[in-house]
Structure 1
Amino acid sequence: MDQDAFVMPIDGVLDLHTFRPQEVTDLVHEYITACRARSIFSVRIIHGKGTGTLRRTVHAALSRSHLVASFRLAGEDAGGWGATLVELVKD
């Protein structure tokens, strides 16, 4: 087992604050795949507000995924424009 491996809980909330920007595209795909395997179809991705670069990267990855039915910025009660709410395809 890789000593640097990080075990992330699959609970429908992905907080990207601890990840490097170059990891985000693959991470988003792997996370939503893992959520669907656990019958989690509503996901919240926290990318932060910042300059918007990470949000754009997340949205680009989501728009290319056949696993995503829809996504939108969260309401103020769920992180506002610092988070994205994703609905996954249920098959």
Structure 2
Amino acid sequence: MMANRRNDTIYLGSTINLPKRVWEHRNGVVDGFTKTYGCHVLVWYEVLGSWEAARQRELQMKQWKRAWKLREIEGLNPEWGDLYDRIALP
């Protein structure tokens, strides 16, 4: 999940290359929701075994209430810090 700041706009998506996709969002390469709303901070992620599993999880979570998504974010990242350095390649 990407966010513009704590407890504000969040974006949920899935990818097979998280470092690349987050870099694209952070640098405004991709037109769309994250660029429009300034969601450039990686606040939550989950690694799954396959693209199909990741897509299913994304679709499931998009049906969740906002409070449930916030609980996931704060469970992993209570300060809403940018997690990009955890997943970026050296």
TM-score by structure 1 length? 0.30
Q: Counting strand residues as a fraction of each chain, which structure ranks higher?
A: 1
Which of the pair has the greater relative contact order for Cα pairs under 8 Å at 6+ separation? 2
Report the TM-score, using the length of structure 2 for normalisation: 0.30
